Structure 1
């Protein structure tokens, strides 16, 4: 990153479309030199930041800021408040008085300082007394700052940032409050024998049915899965419930990259109690597209999505209903879903590697499952907080 320390830094609240465009574009310029950075699709970033497009804004508000020096844009940050997060119990990470910031990009430490101060001032002005971040924008989007695993591109829907940001944020008095892990695992040869024994026992259990999703009933399946998710994650640190509008929005966004054999629902005695979503790693294609689907990238992507060959698959979400969470049945269902999808992925998608994350550092069940299949941590994200 080149720095130009000439004039003073000025901070500008984004008020119009031109400002938003500048906000979005800056990330492409600042990260262009990073071989591991995957340019997101610009249209998706615009949607994320736009009320009326992103249903998060039905229960949240945000202010975007740009930093300028000598007529150039040198940084950006978002400050935001999620009213549903304010209603959560404080002991669970969010709660009353907690605002957030995220989407930080900065050319140098001085710029980062000015931006973070502006975000904090805005949050204070909204009556907040604690800042928790970075979040882009909701806890369900890209939570945390990457602090380990800079050497390789992230898989689909995982964030990536410059290693410089960590010391700059910590210099502002932020302390780590939660760590998120992403695991990687070689899947071609399958899992250790004791995992296979658990799966085999599950296959003989008449009460258990592991089924694929039915894409012809997509909306109903999405609602079912997200309903399990809201229940399964409700005691997790940082949990904010997904609204019906957000469930529909996530469904619409994922529809093109959801494949029936890569998503499983587990039923016990006929009741759906667990699910696992696995996505082909579209980043393998996006990394060369510079954020745009035009003029020819759209066709390339659609062609690939007809039958993706994906070296890596990512498990962004899985969950077991709360009433079953600490039972042996829960880990049996998890291993069964992982193994069934693994078999199909290796056979039909040419997959060699699975990515599982993110997983909260205190989620003992999921960390135990990851360790049991010999997965190792390949990316670590840190969420910070600070009293305002």
Structure 2
């Protein structure tokens, strides 16, 4: 069995963050090291203020062969989780890592854990099932084809699948259909207003995004609201993405109905080793400026108060048309909407009409800590 140690030194932290690049050939996606390090810095990532987090490294003969993170929210209604997985194809390594995560989570009084989640359902989610040749997409993790079987061999049970759906702009039918619908329902459309995020009121706008997100996604499986300490981190994450991306709000009679966020796919330009220096920053700067071929919609939702209301379908259609228009203006050829719960029939039907077929699937498992 490999030895598992908690990351407690700068040297161990460097090994932890370097591992995905070293094991990239196995199918692991490589995060930007600078950004990932910030996720474990309490001064930079407010999420850590109300979550107990531990990083672990698996070592064999002094060499890192795997890593995992355990996360326990102070809020007892939110699930404990494991995530940031990366390891060699070795069941013994996975078993040792999961045992370390289970021990940390059990010591905090939790009997169960979900994963892979890095850190919660609001962050990177799941392990890939199929589509292993799909192009990389921002914050949609790439994992090896053998990982699901290893997780289930360790007694973890699948509990949820989430999907990505990709629209090829050359084939989209939504814009023309919605234009005809808007003409037929002109009196109602007059009550609907779309507006871009006001960057002059940035902090307040980020709080509005978080409030709409918490409301629109509250009834979804596994929903975890963004807490105040996390909202500031959301603002820091969004700011560079909005150089070429956009958040658009929909309002009905001046009341918030929903929103859509569209961001360039930085994963197209991710340095192979995850490092910005010496030259990785060049590609990332071009990607932040929108010089990529694809983009992602990470948020598309309608307030619960308007579910079943005429404003709901009109707002959803208008927000999608706006996202498609932005993609066209930026020269993005593909638009991925992700992630979507497999059981969300309304959203899957909307994707079929675009058409945006399923282009990726990730699974989440649950296990006991006892």
Q: In structure 2, which of residues 231, 246, 250 is the aligned counterpart of residue 262 of structure 1?
A: 246
In structure 2, the residue matched to 1:167 is 149
Deviates more, 1:52-61 or 1:273-282: 52-61
- Summarize the Cα distance change of 1:261–1:240 in structure 2 as closer, same or farther, 3 Å threshold: closer
Partner of 1:219: 203
Q: CA deviation at 1:159?
A: 1.1
TM-score normalised by L of structure 2: 0.92
Which residue is 2:180 aligned to? 197
Match of 2:194 among 210, 215, 222: 210
**Is the CA contact 1:183–1:356 (under 8 Å) kept in the aligned structure 2?**
yes
**Do structure 1's residue 296 and structure 2's residue 287 form an aligned pair?**
no
Which stretch shifts more, 289-298 or 274-283? 289-298
Report the alpha carbon displacement of residue 339 of structure 1 after superposing the two structures with TM: 0.9
Pick one of 96, 101, 120 that aligns with 1:138: 120
Work out whether 1:182 is the aligned partner of 2:175: no
For the 8 Å contact 2:163–2:339, the answer to whether it is kept is yes
Taking a change above 3 Å as real, the CA distance of residues 203 and 300 of structure 1, as seen in their structure-2 partners, is farther
Distance 2:283 2:160 in 1: 39
Distance 2:283 2:35 in 1: 18
* Correspondence for 2:226: 242
- Tell me the CA shift for residue 52 of structure 1: 2.7
Q: Give the 5 Å matches for 1:1-388.
A: 8-32=1-25, 34=27, 38-84=29-75, 86-87=76-77, 94=78, 98-107=79-88, 108-192=90-174, 194-201=177-184, 205-259=189-243, 262-286=246-270, 288-306=271-289, 308-346=290-328, 348-388=329-369
SS of equivalent to 1:235: coil
> 1:90 aligns to what?
none
User: What is the deviation of 1:344?
Assistant: 2.9
Gaps of 5+ in 1: 1-7, 88-93
2: CA distance between counterparts of 1:202 and 1:252? Answer: 39
Q: TM-score, structure 1 length as denominator?
A: 0.88
Q: Deviations over 1:10-36 (max 9, x none)?
A: 1111122221211111111011454xx
| Deviation readout 1:342-388 (Å, 9 max, x if unpaired) | 12321x21111110010112223322221221111111111111233
Aligned length: 366
Distance across 2 between alignment mates of 1:261 and 1:117: 41
Which SS does the other structure have where 1:188 is aligned?
Answer: helix
- Relative to structure 1, the CA distance from residue 261 to residue 146 in structure 2 (aligned partners, 3 Å threshold; closer, same or farther) is closer
- What's the RMSD between the two structures over aligned residues? 2.0
Measure the CA separation in 2 of the matches of 1:149 and 1:203.
42
Task: Spell out, residue by residue over 1:177-229, the C-alpha distance to the aligned partner (whole angstroms, 9 max, x if none).
Answer: 11101111111343256444334446662101112222222222222122111
CA deviation string 1:285-328 (max 9, x = no partner): 11x4521222233244335534x233111000122111112334
Q: Which residue of 2 aligns with 1:5?
A: none
Cα distance in 2 for partners of 1:167, 1:128 equals 25
Q: Which runs of 5+ in 2 are unaligned?
A: none
Distance 2:356 2:286 in 1: 31
Contact 2:171 2:355 in 1 (8 A): no
Q: Which moved more, 1:243-252 or 1:178-187?
A: 243-252
CA distance in 2, matches of 1:182, 1:304: 21
